[in-house]
Structure 1
Amino acid sequence: MLANGLETYESWDLKKISIPSRSRLYQLDPIGIGTPLVESLTGYISRLAEAHCVTPKVLISRELVSFIPKTYKTTNLFEMRSLTGAVNGIGTMAFDLVTVLESLTLHSDLRFLTLLTWANIFPQRRLLRSKRAWCPYCYEEWYSSKNKVIYEPLIWFFEAATVCHCHNKFLCQQCPYCKRDIPPLASYSRPGYCPYCSEWLGIANNYPTSDNIQPSKVEMIWQMWVIKTLGELLATSPRLSKPLSREIVAQAFCRYVQQFFEGNTSAFARMLKIPKNKVWMWQKGKVLPELNVILKICFILQVSVLDFLTQETLKENSSQFPAMRQNQMGDSSTKKLEVKFDSDRAQQLLEHWLQSNEQPLPMTAVAKSLGYSKRILYRHFPELCRAISAEYVKYMKESRVKRIEQCCEEVKQAVRQFHTEGIYPSEAAISKLLAKPGCFRDKQVRAALRAARKEICLEP
């Protein structure tokens, strides 16, 4: 208190306070970056939409699309359904959405929810599956635990991964309630729920178990190795100083051929049971092998995919190198392991395949996917095999009819367009507008061309 009766207060700092920038969208933290079970970008988008109390369709159409200066064959991302799997991949769609989401959430690490880090290493062919797959047991465990978030790990989207390594069960790929395949990102996607019937996809008392047939011992050994090496790739992505270049793959093949086979590409190809010209093209960097091929090669070499790509100095170990030599020499002890025939399990698999809504395949492909010989399956279950083959024949006939009808319609539209423009609708000219120019080999399409010309009085 001063003498004149006035009280003195502490001085105020009137400098402008530095306020950090605010994100347009909620800064939702991604799950598991730097671990094998990192979250997928499609799952992150679903969780981000849920955090804003909207559907993924609303979030993308009203917020994200306006920041993307292009369209993907359609203005509505969800019209592409199964193609939304590319959001988790290595292409333009993944890059665009990562860029937009990072700018709107101010997160700088969302690229690790995709495979963009490996864009120069793996081709898109058979890399990711076109529909969701999940482990209902994992969902149920996360739901029961109060401290765990329900999400969709990126590793579930790999086509090569078909088993949950935690529960030794096949991943489910179809809703057990509405029997529909679920796209990676749907209009009403929610982690752990079906976007069509809104049913919980975790294990419950009434959950059908036909989709969770126990994998065989051989399948389990293969899948455990696949999941381990894929998880290593996902966990390593944030720690790489920069994305690996395409030349890394060619250099890796050259290293192994040189060290183990003294530069003999033919011997290396024989050991892998792969055509020599393919290995040669990989060595020259002209083409990239699919991920499934690299996985099989690395499994034979007993080296992880990450070490195969990045390990510059190779060490011959006593268990790996001699086995490779024996395989090269055709030793009978190194022949490929065959799945031991289990009659009950094989019947379950065939019945499940016949009842499922998946695209029909020839019996040869079905037998290969199940890990059994077609001849053995026909011997034990001739009626089931014939039924599967009949479904495939029916499917091919129906597909051919639909294809011809579509070609005929395209021809009619092309004739009308040429007539409007004053151009004679010749077969050669129309072929340039068709999605499949070779369709004129079908007499029905040629007949449609004649009929369309007749309508505009160009033919008698």
Structure 2
Amino acid sequence: MKPISRSFLHAQEAIGVGTPEVESLLSYFCRLAVSHAVSTADLARLVVKHIDHDIRQDFEWQQRNLSGISESARNWAAWLAAATGVERLDLLTLTNWSSFLPAKGLSPRRSHWCPHCLAEDRKAGNQPYFRLSWEIGPVEACHRHKVQLVDTCPHCGRRHVRHDAGIVLPGWCTQCGGFLGDADAPSATPGQLWVARQVGQWIASQTPAADFADSVSVTETLNTLILGLDGGQPSRFAKRIGLAKSTVHGWLRDGNLPTIQAYLAMAAHSGLSLNQVMRGELTTWAPNTPDAQIALPFDLSRKAAKAAPRQLDWDAIKRELETMLKLPEPISVAEAGRRLDIDDRHLYLRANALARALGEKWKRFQDSQKAIHRDALRTHLQDALPELMEAGLPFNLTQLRHAVPAKVLNAVEGAFDVIREVRDELDVA
């Protein structure tokens, strides 16, 4: 069966993938709402309904970190991919680094932006959008325009106006409607520019073909850096990068993960890039000033070795999915994920067309089964209700449970609607 190409929502392409200007999933979500002329809250409800998930009545999408490493970001990347048919929306988040980074310190304290970026987007005739780098805590500047990020509307003077509203048009104030690209931005400091440049290069490395580091390499990277910079002494290394020695010991012995700020400090002191440190690309690295002290590598035998990450053959997986599409009885995407031992969200991100084809076939099958169950219930009710009337028995659920087999009655969602329909047809009081 050929996979379907039609999507539930507009197949809106992401902006800047593989560059420092990559769009955030938050921005993608807001632009998608604009393209459908609905509020962000309504779009959120449409998406979760399409995916068959429940959503709380007081759900506020802007309280979710859609672009970080959280489970929420992972879910929304997969859900939006399933609804739009656009693969690899996880590249608009940091979820591929979730085994390498903790959430602490990763999110910014304020919703800020570079006014020059927004103004450039608009001048070029493009839709302004929010950059993923703006969603990363240490970034306080734009490396392209060499200015600090701002968080105050230049027209109404309010803060938290970038996207904290039901209607969001990226680039315009959610309170007064003024263009956020009109703001003045002070010049960035050299330190701020270095951080922005390092983070930009790091997120630019997220491409569809890129391999991602795993937590197994974290300890190896730390050992190499500590040995090379401080002769293998964690306490000296901790002092060098401005952290407590207990923090460094926690990384080495307890498996704790360094924060993004710690990785940046390691990059600054080693002369490596943030991307090299986070990916563990240290094979050719040597410290600028070799330490004369001889030290042995750390003995980490007390810590159990982690298994090597599983390498997924996506060509083989797609062939498996094609076979599943031909099964006489359809299966859900969740069941396909279980059979392949893969999180079904990854199927939407890496094999989108096939996953959606499975999902649509499963939904059609479910709808046909519901129709069969409803028809079976109608047949039993049409036979049972007249008999209840003749016997002078009341029309209630207790009597119906005696007259209709439980497996027939329980198989129908909204059974009372079917009962009401049959009662009205037969004019039963």
TM-score range, shorter chain: 0.5 to 0.7
User: Does 2:209 match 1:237?
Assistant: no
Out of 45, 57, 60, the position equivalent to 1:75 is 57
Moved more, 171-180 or 39-48: 171-180
Q: How far apart in 1 are the matches of 2:163 and 2:264? A: 24
User: Does 2:121 match 1:150?
Assistant: no
User: Does 2:132 match 1:164?
Assistant: no
Q: SS of 2:66's equivalent?
A: helix
Indicate the residue corresponding to 1:38 in structure 2. Answer: 22
Q: How far apart in 1 are the matches of 2:115 and 2:135? A: 15
Indicate the residue corresponding to 2:283 in structure 1. Answer: 313
User: Does 2:86 match 1:102?
Assistant: no
Q: How far apart in 2 are the matches of 1:47 and 1:160? A: 25
CA contact (8 A) 2:195 2:264 kept: yes
Q: How far apart in 2 are the matches of 1:260 and 1:240? A: 33
Deviations 1:388-418 (A, max 9, x none): xxxxxxxxxxxxxxxxxxxxxxxxxxxxxxx
Per the TM alignment, residue 241 of structure 1 is displaced from its structure 2 partner at its CA by: 5.1
After superposition, the Cα gap between the structure-2 partners of 1:42 and 1:65, relative to the gap in structure 1 and judged at 3 Å, is farther
Deviations 1:142-182 (A, max 9, x none): 21223x33111111111211112222221111223331313
Per the TM alignment, residue 222 of structure 1 is displaced from its structure 2 partner at its CA by: 1.4
Indicate the residue corresponding to 2:215 in structure 1. Answer: 246
CA contact (8 A) 2:100 2:213 kept: yes
Out of 113, 119, 131, the position equivalent to 1:134 is 113
Per the TM alignment, residue 248 of structure 1 is displaced from its structure 2 partner at its CA by: 2.1
Q: How far apart in 2 are the matches of 1:244 and 1:180? A: 37
Indicate the residue corresponding to 1:269 in structure 2. Answer: 238
User: Does 2:93 match 1:114?
Assistant: yes
Indicate the residue corresponding to 1:54 in structure 2. Answer: 38
Structure of greater relative contact order (alpha carbons < 8 Å, 6+ residues apart):
2
Q: How far apart in 1 are the matches of 2:49 and 2:164? A: 15
Per the TM alignment, residue 305 of structure 1 is displaced from its structure 2 partner at its CA by: 1.8
Q: How far apart in 1 are the matches of 2:244 and 2:3? A: 62
Greater than 4 Å deviation, 4+ residue runs? 17-20, 239-242
After superposition, the Cα gap between the structure-2 partners of 1:54 and 1:273, relative to the gap in structure 1 and judged at 3 Å, is closer
Per the TM alignment, residue 124 of structure 1 is displaced from its structure 2 partner at its CA by: 0.9
After superposition, the Cα gap between the structure-2 partners of 1:250 and 1:152, relative to the gap in structure 1 and judged at 3 Å, is same
Indicate the residue corresponding to 2:6 in structure 1. Answer: 22
Q: How far apart in 2 are the matches of 1:63 and 1:315? A: 47
Q: How far apart in 1 are the matches of 2:113 and 2:127? A: 15
Out of 227, 236, 253, the position equivalent to 2:196 is 227
Q: How far apart in 1 are the matches of 2:143 and 2:4? A: 42
Q: SS of 1:227's equivalent?
A: helix
Out of 278, 282, 287, the position equivalent to 2:247 is 278
Q: How far apart in 2 are the matches of 1:43 and 1:213? A: 24
Unaligned runs of 5+ in 1: 1-16, 326-460
Percent identical among aligned pairs is 26
Per the TM alignment, residue 292 of structure 1 is displaced from its structure 2 partner at its CA by: 1.3
Per the TM alignment, residue 106 of structure 1 is displaced from its structure 2 partner at its CA by: 1.0
After superposition, the Cα gap between the structure-2 partners of 1:38 and 1:54, relative to the gap in structure 1 and judged at 3 Å, is same
After superposition, the Cα gap between the structure-2 partners of 1:165 and 1:130, relative to the gap in structure 1 and judged at 3 Å, is same
After superposition, the Cα gap between the structure-2 partners of 1:250 and 1:18, relative to the gap in structure 1 and judged at 3 Å, is closer
Deviations 1:236-257 (A, max 9, x none): 1225655422232222111112
CA contact (8 A) 1:173 1:181 kept: yes
After superposition, the Cα gap between the structure-2 partners of 1:130 and 1:278, relative to the gap in structure 1 and judged at 3 Å, is closer
User: Does 2:271 match 1:302?
Assistant: yes
Q: How far apart in 2 are the matches of 1:126 and 1:271? A: 20
Indicate the residue corresponding to 2:186 in structure 1. Answer: 213
CA contact (8 A) 1:128 1:158 kept: yes
Per the TM alignment, residue 271 of structure 1 is displaced from its structure 2 partner at its CA by: 2.7
Per the TM alignment, residue 140 of structure 1 is displaced from its structure 2 partner at its CA by: 1.5
After superposition, the Cα gap between the structure-2 partners of 1:256 and 1:314, relative to the gap in structure 1 and judged at 3 Å, is farther
Per the TM alignment, residue 107 of structure 1 is displaced from its structure 2 partner at its CA by: 1.2
Indicate the residue corresponding to 2:317 in structure 1. Answer: none
Q: How far apart in 2 are the matches of 1:285 and 1:238? A: 31
After superposition, the Cα gap between the structure-2 partners of 1:312 and 1:167, relative to the gap in structure 1 and judged at 3 Å, is closer
Q: SS of 2:285's equivalent?
A: coil
Deviations 1:309-347 (A, max 9, x none): 321414325xx326x89xxxxxxxxxxxxxxxxxxxxxx
After superposition, the Cα gap between the structure-2 partners of 1:95 and 1:202, relative to the gap in structure 1 and judged at 3 Å, is same
Indicate the residue corresponding to 2:181 in structure 1. Answer: 202
User: Does 2:60 match 1:90?
Assistant: no
Out of 140, 144, 155, the position equivalent to 1:177 is 155
Deviations 1:99-134 (A, max 9, x none): 111111111110001110111111111201254211
Amino acid paired to 2:167: Y
After superposition, the Cα gap between the structure-2 partners of 1:283 and 1:225, relative to the gap in structure 1 and judged at 3 Å, is same
Out of 247, 256, 269, the position equivalent to 1:287 is 256
Per the TM alignment, residue 53 of structure 1 is displaced from its structure 2 partner at its CA by: 2.0
CA contact (8 A) 2:263 2:277 kept: no
Q: How far apart in 2 are the matches of 1:242 and 1:127? A: 21
Q: How far apart in 2 are the matches of 1:119 and 1:246? A: 9
Unaligned runs of 5+ in 2: 293-429
Per the TM alignment, residue 51 of structure 1 is displaced from its structure 2 partner at its CA by: 1.4
